[in-house]
Amino acid sequence: MNIILILLWSTVFCDANRLSLKGEEQFPIYLFWNSQNSVVENTLLPNEILDMSFQNISNLNSTYFAEMTDLKLINVSFNNIEELEDGLFKTTRKLKYLDLSHNELHNVSCEFLVCLPELEYLDISSNKFMALNLGSAFKSVVNLKFLRVSAEKLQRNYLKNIAGIRLNIFFIEIMKPWSYEKNSLDWINTNTVVIEFPNDNVNKVDAFLSDVLEISTNIEIIGSACCLDFSNASSNSVSFNLTNMYLTNFQISLVCFLKAVKMFSELKGQKLQVYNLTVHIMNDELIIPEVFLPFEALSVQVAKTDVLSFTASNLYNNIINMKIKNMKISETPLFYITCPRTDSIHEVLDFSDNFFSDEIFSSPGITACKTFPLLHTLILKGNKLMHLDTLSVRTQHMKALTELDASFNMLTSESRNCYWPLSLSKLNLSFNTLDSYVFHCIPIMVQILDLQYNQITSIPQDMVSLNALKEIILSSNRLFNIPDCKNFHFVELLFLSSNVIKTPSADFLDSCQILKHLDISRNPFICDCSLRHFLQNRDKSKLALLGWPNLYSCSEPEALNGTLLEDFHMFEISCNLALLLAAILIPLIVIVISIAVLCKHFDAPWYLRMMWQWTQTKQRAKTKQLLETRRDLAYNAFVSYSQDDSSWVKEYLLPNLEEMGTLKICYHERNFIAGKSIIENIITCIEKSYKSIFVLSTNFISSEWCHYELYFAQHQLLSENTENLILILLEPIPHYMIPSKYYKLKDLMSRKTYMEWPKDKNKHKLFWASLRSAIHINLSELAADELKTMQAPKVLNVMCANTSLKKKKQNKGQMK
């Protein structure tokens, strides 16, 4: 089958993962030279660096550095310096890095090196040396680790003065015209050689390359159009220990590239890494199958072609059939790959950042490859995969697959029909567009599941339990709630940062017994009681919160926005209902009880009643005053009492009512006019008084009340107004004590509230105040002395017989 590949050679590729190899510990450099700018440690202080590159300097002398004794790095590259005096660096003996490249130096004896015992890095490339005949001064830089030179010509003894130095990297730029005498590199003592070729092709590099292979195990070749020829070397491969080879910035034909790979395999190299490759493809080249010997690892990173489209089933057949354990082809325009024809030896396949679609590993009639018996890691990061269930079908026969990385694709999940291999234990589905349904398509034996940066809102309750799961990453999704561990009981690490969890439920921890680390940082927490509860439970469980405390802050309530959770405190009481109730109820009950006790002790109801009466009478007095003043009043009150109670009246009542002189009282011992009948006097007094006070006692009822019954009977109309009557009860009088003929009294007693004479001395003041206010009225306008006599019948005394009284007294005795 032929597939039209549209190779987007002009596609802007992502920047390669550039390793910045700075610092001494990174010697030797095992990666592409081009991908890093210098091997200089990045911890140098400003006063230790002197950068004089591109300054048009033609002359340097030692006075210039005299003061700068701390210098560790001097860069005078890209200047016009022709000569350096021998004692130039005599004051800068700490110098570690010296860059003299791109100058006009012509004497390579370099006597100035004698002063630099600490020197580790020396670049003398791109100067005007006639021949690279390193002087004897090189013997003194015993700590040198990095040496960069450029040469047109190398002869057998040129490099003998560095023979005693163990270099980490020997970097040589080949200049044109190139001439090389065999075995000139024998003096070099290093593991790593970096060779940079000029832009156009150089002849006679074969002998040189074979010598390089003899002295080092790691080779990086930076070349643009160089078609490598190891033919001399490969015929003699037994004596080489090639480990790593890096091919950087090559721009060659596909045939030439495949030849290089073939030769690498024949040299029994282990890792071949290709970076920034541009291949020219002629149509006929695509049908040439290359046969490689098995080798350890091939990495092709950033590759493109200048052909826009071609039919290339052979190409990807060749790629997938290479006998390479660990193969990486990334940042290339590949978007299709087939199954290996026979069982492959692939253990790791990394196809990140290509254009693979769901069709990967399939062809007509074949939905899944069965020829990956050893593959344990498959990386499909950054491709164009769309359906998770299809991916599971593609991988179902990869019996050894333990790790699958499908991050940065466009995966969605709508199906429950997934067929993952049982061996799969680490699945990376981060940076896709998966929603909650993904949980119905997870391999059941998975141990590490990465779902960060998706669109998951919840974890479905009806998913299959993942009992092998130890770590689940759900950061940067849209989870509203902290999920419980019902469906993954044995999870130890749970990552939930950057979701929308506002209120983590406190009892989720109960379902996550094994959980050790939890990351719920960067969530918009509502700082309230449930959060407090959660934090408390967390403290109890000794669960480690990752990112605590700096990445945990409140977002609500607004007043607490931005406050660290660490600094958020609430009192137990405001969160605990029982405690709150207790806190309110206990004082309440105490108050009620103490009020009750106080009432009982001080007779509060009595006071209340008294106050009420007082205010009532005041109220009434106000409304009635106008009306009342029209009557001719001479007294505030008429007091009627039994002779037996006269001592109380004189001792208490009169002094208390008249004490201020404002109130005038009418009572018979003083104001009754002799000669008039009692009833006449009574009537007169009542008429002239604002109120009538009756001091009630059993004596009063039996001896005096009969007059009033008559009076009330006579003056029906006048007596209707009972407002003017005040009854003072000197002692409790049971109803039965009141003779049945005293209708009025019975009526009054039942209807009208009376004032009880309190036994408690403390209450007397209030009693009198209340009474005074009840009878208070302004008498000033009234004529006090003018008493109008009223007509009254004189026959009434007959009624006041003592019979009824005696009977009542007997009754009372019986009751006691």
Using CB under 6 A as the binding rule, whether residue 231 contacts ligand NAG is answered as: yes
Which spans in 309-464 are helix H? 313-321, 388-395
Q: Which is nearer to ligand NAG, 16 or 599 (CB)?
A: 16
CA distances from 612 to 38, 514, 618, 747 (A): 100, 71, 10, 22
Q: Which is nearer to ligand NAG, 66 or 588 (CB)?
A: 66
3-state secondary structure of 310: strand
For ligand NAG, the binding residues in 440-459 under the rule CB under 6 A are 448, 450
Cα dihedral: 358, 364, 369, 370 (round 10): 160
Nearest to 374 by CA among 411, 353, 344, 403: 344
Q: Shortest gap between Cβ of 276 and ligand NAG (angstroms)?
A: 4
Using CB under 6 A as the binding rule, whether residue 126 contacts ligand NAG is answered as: no
The correct pick among 143, 155, 278, 363 for binding ligand NAG (CB under 6 A) is: 278
The correct pick among 177, 365, 562, 732 for binding ligand NAG (CB under 6 A) is: 562
Using CB under 6 A as the binding rule, whether residue 189 contacts ligand NAG is answered as: no
Nearest to 180 by CA among 210, 201, 200, 160: 210
Nearest to 424 by CA among 387, 462, 394: 394
Residue for token pair 């004032």: 755
Q: Which is nearer to ligand NAG, 379 or 745 (CB)?
A: 379
Using CB under 6 A as the binding rule, whether residue 253 contacts ligand NAG is answered as: no
Q: Shortest gap between Cβ of 321 and ligand NAG (angstroms)?
A: 27
Q: What is the contact mask toward ligand NAG in residues 62 to 101, using x (rule: CB under 6 A)? A: -x-----------x-xx------------------x-x--
Using CB under 6 A as the binding rule, whether residue 428 contacts ligand NAG is answered as: yes
Among 51-59, 292-300, 678-686, 750-758, which window interacts with ligand NAG (CB under 6 A)?
Answer: 51-59
Q: Which is nearer to ligand NAG, 474 or 639 (CB)?
A: 474
217's tokens:
């195990």
Q: Shortest gap between Cβ of 550 and ligand NAG (angstroms)?
A: 14
Residue for token pair 């009822």: 701
The correct pick among 24, 118, 206, 628 for binding ligand NAG (CB under 6 A) is: 206
Contact yes or no for 701/730 (Cβ under 8 A): no
Nearest to 381 by CA among 401, 356, 398: 356
Q: Shortest gap between Cβ of 362 and ligand NAG (angstroms)?
A: 24
Among 401-409, 508-516, 535-543, 599-607, which window interacts with ligand NAG (CB under 6 A)?
Answer: 401-409
Using CB under 6 A as the binding rule, whether residue 546 contacts ligand NAG is answered as: no
Sign of the dihedral through C-alpha 37, 40, 41, 47: negative
Residue for token pair 């090559």: 250
Q: Which is nearer to ligand NAG, 429 or 441 (CB)?
A: 429
Cβ neighbours of residue 150 under 8 Å, at least 6 residues apart? 125, 126, 127, 172, 173, 174, 175
Report how far residue 457's alpha carbon sits from residue 434's, in angstroms, rounded to the nearest whole number.
10
Report how far residue 38's alpha carbon sits from residue 22's, in angstroms, rounded to the nearest whole number.
7
Residue for token pair 């109890």: 540
639's tokens:
């007091």
The correct pick among 3, 44, 50, 207 for binding ligand NAG (CB under 6 A) is: 207
Backbone angles phi, psi at 251, to 5 degrees: -130, 85
Q: Are strands 4-6 and 309-311 parallel, antiparallel or unpaired?
A: antiparallel
302 backbone φψ class: left, alpha, beta (φ>0; ψ -120 to 50): left
Q: Shortest gap between Cβ of 407 and ligand NAG (angstroms)?
A: 4
Q: Which is nearer to ligand NAG, 43 or 594 (CB)?
A: 43
Angle separating helix axes 604-629 and 764-775, nearest 10 degrees: 20
Residue 653 DSSP symbol: I
Q: Shortest gap between Cβ of 23 and ligand NAG (angstroms)?
A: 14
Q: Shortest gap between Cβ of 426 and ligand NAG (angstroms)?
A: 7
Using CB under 6 A as the binding rule, whether residue 224 contacts ligand NAG is answered as: yes
For ligand NAG, the binding residues in 378-397 under the rule CB under 6 A are 381
Q: Are strands 244-253 and 525-526 parallel, antiparallel or unpaired?
A: unpaired
Q: Which is nearer to ligand NAG, 63 or 647 (CB)?
A: 63
Using CB under 6 A as the binding rule, whether residue 677 contacts ligand NAG is answered as: no
Using CB under 6 A as the binding rule, whether residue 740 contacts ligand NAG is answered as: no
Using CB under 6 A as the binding rule, whether residue 214 contacts ligand NAG is answered as: yes
Report how far residue 280's alpha carbon sits from residue 304's, in angstroms, rounded to the nearest whole number.
9
Q: Shortest gap between Cβ of 211 and ligand NAG (angstroms)?
A: 8
Among 106-114, 578-586, 593-601, 682-690, which window interacts with ligand NAG (CB under 6 A)?
Answer: 106-114
Q: What is the contact mask toward ligand NAG in residues 408 to 427, using x (rule: CB under 6 A)? A: x-------------------
Q: What is the contact mask toward ligand NAG in residues 8 to 47, using x (rule: CB under 6 A)? A: --------------------------x--xx-x-------
Q: Shortest gap between Cβ of 359 and ligand NAG (angstroms)?
A: 22
Q: Are strands 544-545 and 525-526 parallel, antiparallel or unpaired?
A: unpaired
HEC profile of 402-433: CEEECCCCCCECCCCCCCCCCCCCEEECCCCC
The correct pick among 11, 20, 47, 53 for binding ligand NAG (CB under 6 A) is: 53
* Helix, strand, coil percentages, rounded to 5, for the chain: 30, 20, 50
Sign of the dihedral through C-alpha 354, 358, 364, 365: positive
The correct pick among 26, 36, 107, 719 for binding ligand NAG (CB under 6 A) is: 107
Cα dihedral: 249, 251, 255, 259 (round 10): -30
Report how far residue 67's alpha carbon sits from residue 512's, in angstroms, rounded to the nearest whole number.
66
Q: Shortest gap between Cβ of 46 and ligand NAG (angstroms)?
A: 14
Which spans in 155-303 are helix H? 206-215, 231-234, 254-266
602's tokens:
């001080």
Residue for token pair 């009432």: 599
Q: Shortest gap between Cβ of 99 and ligand NAG (angstroms)?
A: 4
Buried b (16+ CB within 10 A) or exposed e, 693-725: bbbbbbbbbbbbbbbbbbbbeeeeeebeeeebb
State the distance between the two ends of the chain, measured CA to CA, in whole angstroms.
Answer: 128
Q: Shortest gap between Cβ of 337 and ligand NAG (angstroms)?
A: 20
Contact yes or no for 227/252 (Cβ under 8 A): yes
Among 53-61, 171-179, 310-318, 735-743, which window interacts with ligand NAG (CB under 6 A)?
Answer: 53-61
Q: Which is nearer to ligand NAG, 278 or 537 (CB)?
A: 278
The correct pick among 2, 10, 56, 550 for binding ligand NAG (CB under 6 A) is: 56
Using CB under 6 A as the binding rule, whether residue 183 contacts ligand NAG is answered as: no
**CA-based Rg of the chain, rounded to a whole angstrom?**
57
Using CB under 6 A as the binding rule, whether residue 232 contacts ligand NAG is answered as: yes
Q: Which is nearer to ligand NAG, 430 or 702 (CB)?
A: 430
Amino acid identity, position 525: F
The correct pick among 430, 436, 684, 770 for binding ligand NAG (CB under 6 A) is: 430
Cβ neighbours of residue 809 under 8 Å, at least 6 residues apart? 698, 702
Size of the site for ligand NAG (CB under 6 A): 46
Q: Which is nearer to ligand NAG, 11 or 753 (CB)?
A: 11
Using CB under 6 A as the binding rule, whether residue 239 contacts ligand NAG is answered as: yes
Q: Which is nearer to ligand NAG, 52 or 345 (CB)?
A: 52
Q: Which residues bind ligand NAG (CB under 6 A)?
A: 34, 37-38, 40, 53, 55-56, 59, 61, 63, 75, 77-78, 97, 99, 107, 109, 111, 182, 206-207, 214, 224, 231-232, 239-241, 249, 251, 276, 278, 381, 405, 407-408, 428, 430-431, 448, 450, 555-556, 558, 561-562
